[in-house]
Amino acid sequence: MLLLEHGNRVISRLEADGSRTILAERYGDGRLNSPNDSVWHSNGWLYFTDPPYGLAGGDQDPQKELNFSGIYRLYPATGEVQLLASHQSRPNGIGLSPDEQTLYVANSDGNRMAWYQYVVAYDGQLSNRRIFFDATGHEESGAADGLKVDVDG
């Protein structure tokens, strides 16, 4: 079982014997903020979001070591964590289109509530960011959060 341990600031795997293996806890010299949501690519990459929600003080928390909230890719076999985007203030829900050529990421910031989409290149990099749906200013309560992609994309 894969665990995105929001408060512990790690991504881990719960093994069959009940032990826990940490797959990712850092990017560069800093600890992750609070891994939140993830989606697997068929080739084994794990795309995940890392907003500051698990930190009591959010962006101002003294334990925050990264000065951004990121969208990452993890290579579980090697533990390599690669930053793909850092422009979203609160990246949250994440999903891949059925053909794995589009990545959708919710931004849960009350000042900029939107779902973005990115083109996933052959090498897994993201490009051509655009807003898929902008909910900023809508009267309903809540935020851009989790998402699912149906079989038709």
Tell me: the pLDDT tens digits for 19-58? 999 999 999 999 999 999 999 999 999 999 999 988 999 8
Largest Cα–Cα separation, the chain: 48
- Distance separating alpha carbons of residues 148 and 142, to the nearest angstrom: 17
The pLDDT of residue 144 is above 80: no
Tell me: the pLDDT tens digits for 109-140? 877 889 999 999 999 999 999 999 888 877 77
